[in-house]
Amino acid sequence: MRKILIVLTSLLLTACVDDTASYYADGSTGNHALTLHRAQKHFWSKNSSVELIMQRLPECLRRIELTDMPADEVEIELLSGGDNVWTLRAGKEMWQVETQSCTQYPDVKGDGGELIGVFRVDGNKLVFEAAVLEPAGSDTTAPSK
């Protein structure tokens, strides 16, 4: 009986989601990063809790609970307002954080800034997809000669 319970428990746990995806603001050193963590607390739950782990080492390391959303529908945009100010947007919900002093603003100020990329589910894994940024001064609507 005990062996059956062990096997069943391991099968039930495999249905749970618990993963992360990161954006490295400083390139690849990992000293300045924004990481989204998605965790499904129970295998029968369709929702997952989503939290942000922001770090700018050694001054800043903080975890902030953002929201609950369907585990397979996590899609959160990351925007940069400059000066280490970051905005995360999921539909109508928005959160603004600042990694210089490791704080979360109570209200989002401005439009959030420039789109850096999107945290989303690809397959069954949370990933960060960088936005395709066009060089300043490029005009894709100009007629060609």
Band of residue 6 on the pLDDT scale cut at 50, 70, 90: low
Instruction: Determine, yes or no, domain membership for 78.
Output: yes
Instruction: Determine, yes or no, domain membership for 107.
Output: yes
Instruction: Determine, yes or no, domain membership for 135.
Output: no
Q: Give the model confidence (pLDDT) of 71-128 as tens digits.
A: 999 999 999 999 999 999 999 999 999 999 999 999 998 889 999 999 999 999 999 9
Q: Give the model confidence (pLDDT) of 8-38 as tens digits.
A: 454 455 558 999 999 999 887 789 999 999 9
List the strands of the sheet with 103-105, edge to edge: 103-105, 93-98, 85-90, 75-82, 114-122, 125-130
- Report the 10 Å Cβ neighbour count for 71: 23
- Which residue range is the domain that position 91 belongs to? 15-126
Q: Which of 82, 35, 88, 43 is nearest to 63 (CA)?
A: 35
CA gap 66, 12 in Å, rounded: 26
* Helix or strand (DSSP H, E) at 88: strand 85-90
Q: Give the model confidence (pLDDT) of 34-83 as tens digits.
A: 999 999 988 888 999 999 999 999 999 999 999 999 999 999 999 999 99
State pTM to two decimals: 0.80
CA distances from residue 42 to 18, 49, 77 in whole angstroms, order as listed: 11, 11, 26
Instruction: Determine, yes or no, domain membership for 139.
Output: no
Number of domains the chain contains: 1
Instruction: Determine, yes or no, domain membership for 62.
Output: yes
Instruction: Determine, yes or no, domain membership for 2.
Output: no
Instruction: Determine, yes or no, domain membership for 145.
Output: no
- Find the largest Cα–Cα distance for the chain: 79
Instruction: Determine, yes or no, domain membership for 3.
Output: no
